Chains A and B, each alone.
Chain A
């Protein structure tokens, strides 16, 4: 069975500092990994994904994520946080097989303080 863990319910960071939101996964087989962001009372917006190849993936709004196969992790990062980055972030996984649903972590609330 596939699963995703986001070990931190809440991450607080000062504006201008680097941010990291952690994600680890468990799958049988090779994973496709995704990060989404959600603003209050809205749907999820896609940020970036890892398919294969380069372990460092760049996405929207200056976000990037690093795939680490040995640690089964896919942490989301940004070099300099903005107050507008404050939102709920979800990590998700799907295996290579077919059109199966994404399995999501429980989410991490990011708060960027001015």
Chain B
């Protein structure tokens, strides 16, 4: 089945820790995106990548980092610099233009 897979579904982070969220797609899409969802704030763009080995900051990139070494993979690291990381994180991919983006099932990150 073609799709986009995020793991883990739930993740707990201690204060001062870095954690990495996985996102893999087998749709052969060039572009991949990371969004953060908080109640009442919709989806806010963290980072996006339009091609392998290239990525751009979104609206709320501070405290996050990404890599795009393979077309299929776009992991997101939440660093200790992110002061309020508790949120629902969504990864998406698309082939751009008029095509819709496909979303993973999300990772819920909680600071303990």
Residues of A within 8 A of B (CB): 9, 32, 34, 36, 41-46, 49, 51, 90, 96, 98-107
Residues from chain B with Cβ under 8 Å of A42 in the complex: 105-106
Closest to A45 in B: B103
Complex alpha-carbon distance, A44 and B104, angstroms: 8
Residues from chain A with Cβ under 8 Å of B74 in the complex: none
Tally of A-B Cβ pairs under 8 angstroms: 60
Residues of B within 8 A of A (CB): 6, 30-31, 33, 35, 40-43, 45, 48, 50, 58, 88, 90, 92, 94-98, 100-106, 108
Residues from chain A with Cβ under 8 Å of B40 in the complex: 9, 106
Complex alpha-carbon distance, A101 and B49, angstroms: 9
Residues from chain B with Cβ under 8 Å of A90 in the complex: 42-43
